[in-house]
Amino acid sequence: MLQHYLSAADLPRAEAEALLQRAQTLKAEWNSGEHCRDSNGGLPLQGNTLALVFEKPSLRTRVAFEAGMTQLGGNGSYLSANDIDMGGRESVPDVARNLSRWVQAIAARVFKHATVETLARYATVPVINALSDLEHPCQALADMLTLYERHNHLAGLRLAYVGDGNNVCHSLMLLGATLGLDVAIACPADYRPDPNIITLAQQRATESGGQISLSSSPIEAVAGADAVYTDVWASMGQEHEAARRRPLFQPYQINADLLAHAQEHAVIMHCLPAHRGEEITTDMIDGPRSVVFDQAENRLHVQKALILTLLHK
């Protein structure tokens, strides 16, 4: 039974599929004007609070969690780095112990992955990784829901990721492998995913019938793909590396020439925010094959499903 969600690897295949199905149901209910109800006809998270502990700024993550809690009858309490200063004014274990006395769950958007692990170790309520330097597992859930909506299945799809082997790439590899996708990664040689993540993803792929492949060739990765995914070349906290990285990553830009190697029905994906004209051209992100804003919308519904699952509602 899922206790925390710190990594995309925390979900076995059956639980991941059930969570995505629940998210799809929640989305359909919301879009039809209905509200998710508990067995007594009330909103399921009435009286519940989610603490949003954010060391980094956010648009999608914060709003999707706050709106999701509101839609389910609960409340999101936003706490910035200025409010808490974890590890400075107050230790991470003490933050976890305090919050556990007041709220029913914690979502943490942090720099170091060790921070969410420490929160989970000392909290007596569920902890969600809302982004760390190692993973972005909520984003991966939204990505899988977006692909499922397009294809009505996930196993066997080829997902190409081109660019930096970063936290988004890690979670995509892990969840994609768990769900039986063929995940093809193309990165510059010095920017490949973490070796431990690669090993774990390959193990998951063996179990699911999926596949993980890595190369330095974006054309090789994109060939025959059902979806082509990228992210910024320098993530938050790496802005000082942007100028040095730009020429190395230029061949990995999603543009019309690269997309021509994918299948005709291939969709374009990006976790946002995007640096238009760098990792992706404007005509691609705004074009008819882009599902970028579907991904953003689906953050709301997968995060609702995740909170309900963690709180056994």
Instruction: Determine the pLDDT at residue 254.
Output: 98
Instruction: Determine the pLDDT at residue 156.
Output: 98
Is pTM beyond 0.85? Reply is yes
As a whole-number percent, the residues of the chain with pLDDT over 90 amount to 89
Catalytic residue among 136, 158, 170, 245: 136
Q: Which residues of the chain have pLDDT under 70?
A: 236-238
Same topology for domains 8-136+298-310 and 139-295, yes or no?
yes
Return d(Cα 128, Cα 107) in angstroms, integer.
5
Fold held by 139-295: Rossmann fold (3.40.50)
Catalytic residue among 4, 62, 113, 299: 299
Return d(Cα 306, Cα 294) in angstroms, integer.
18
Q: Is 113 one of the annotated active-site residues of the chain?
A: no
Q: Is 283 one of the annotated active-site residues of the chain?
A: no
Instruction: Determine the pLDDT at residue 236.
Output: 64
CA distances from 187 to 8, 238, 308 (A): 21, 17, 36
Instruction: Determine the pLDDT at residue 40.
Output: 85
pLDDT digits (tens, 9 = 90+) for 85-97: 888 889 999 999 9
Q: Is 231 one of the annotated active-site residues of the chain?
A: yes
Instruction: Determine the pLDDT at residue 237.
Output: 66
Q: Is 271 one of the annotated active-site residues of the chain?
A: yes
CATH 3.40.50.2300, domain 8-136+298-310, yes or no: no
pLDDT digits (tens, 9 = 90+) for 220-248: 999 999 999 999 987 766 677 777 889 99
Which residue from 114, 117, 121, 104 is spatially nearest to 52, judged by alpha carbons?
104
Instruction: Determine the pLDDT at residue 238.
Output: 67
Q: Where are the domains of the chain?
A: 8-136+298-310, 139-295
